[in-house]
Amino acid sequence: MNYAIETENLSKKYGESFALENVSLHIPCGRIYGLLGRNGAGKTTAMRLILGLAAPTSGRIKLFGRELANSDQSSYLRIGSSIETPGFYPELTAAENLSVFARLRGKVNKKAISQVLDLVGLPQNKKKFAEYSLGMKQRLALARSMMHDPELLILDEPTNGLDPIGIAEMRQLIKTLSCECKKTVLVSSHQLSEIEQLADWIGIIHRGKLLEECSYEELKQKERSGVRICTANRDRVIRFLTEKMGLEKCVILGNNEIEVRDQTCSSLEINKRLFQAGLEVSQIWILHSSLERHFQELTGGEGIA
């Protein structure tokens, strides 16, 4: 498989603390790779290192199969990015803003500016950036990253702060860039549902470490069912499940709840056996696996928010 980005044991240390520790990423060409993690997990740090905006403490980076040397800047010409809060001139229109950034690159192509604004769905009128909604600002940031027709896009939290309609529109736009325009996209997010609906490949990062990296299809194949039980007799119930029924994968949760992650026994059988043993259950329901549950299991029960 060809990779647009590869990192090997990439680390970044500030003082005595690691912002990123031994992270090895593999972003396939032509795919949407979702880097998922809580705020502060190290997603933006990884992107900044890949883009050369910060120097790694240790580790290696390859772009398009070539190891990135300090003197080699040519690979960056093939990348478009939107990292952190996009900055534009408030009193200029979208086209005027893009013209400024095009001049900074040394080349102004009015046709390309018009095409990229059409691509992201921004009107080419006299409306100033200061009058834009947050969704329009995010679209303009994406347009700026697309002006030079890059092969690879690196987008840091592109749906952050958007309303549900704006999120759906941005999601569809990113899919269009990948499927129709054949772009590789590395996108970070702390929103599980967005990564589930968007990414072909997923990397889960937590406290500066990459916990898992796989295709979305591989992740779906790991799906399994579980059973959650709510009972006032939590300790007695879990002893019965483990000792009498031989169910090993039982986890005590808060609010008098137990999660049974063992697939050898159905919810009906569990409920029947508990009833026969005189152990009262107030609620029992089937759980189907999701990216959220998988994330919690990988991080030792921590949620994504």
Beta bridge partners of 171: none
From first CA to last CA, the distance across the chain in angstroms is 33
Question: DSSP state, 201?
Answer: E
How confident is the model at residue 106, as a pLDDT?
78
| Cβ-contact 73, 108 below 8 angstroms | no
Mean pLDDT of the chain: 89
- Name the token pair of 190: 């702390």
**Which pLDDT band, with edges at 50, 70 and 90, does 291 fall under?**
confident
- Tens-place pLDDT, residues 15-74: 999 999 999 999 999 999 999 999 999 999 999 999 999 999 999 999 999 988 765 778
How confident is the model at residue 54, as a pLDDT?
94
**Which pLDDT band, with edges at 50, 70 and 90, does 265 fall under?**
confident
Question: DSSP state, 77?
Answer: G
Q: How far apart are CA 300 and CA 188, in angstroms?
A: 21
How confident is the model at residue 71, as a pLDDT?
58
Q: What mean pLDDT is predicted for residues 221-236?
A: 81
Counting residues of the chain whose pLDDT is more than 90, the rounded percentage is 58
Reply yes or no on whether the pLDDT at 255 is more than 60: yes
- Name the token pair of 200: 């072909």
How confident is the model at residue 287, as a pLDDT?
72
Which of 21-35, 36-50, 174-188, 256-270 has the weakest average pLDDT? 256-270
**Which pLDDT band, with edges at 50, 70 and 90, does 224 fall under?**
low
Spatial strand order in the sheet of 257-260: 250-252, 257-260, 225-230, 283-288
| Cβ-contact 156, 47 below 8 angstroms | yes
**Which pLDDT band, with edges at 50, 70 and 90, does 294 fall under?**
confident
Q: What mean pLDDT is predicted for residues 168-189?
A: 94
Q: How far apart are CA 207 and CA 210, in angstroms?
A: 9
CA triple 213-60-42, angle to 5 deg: 50
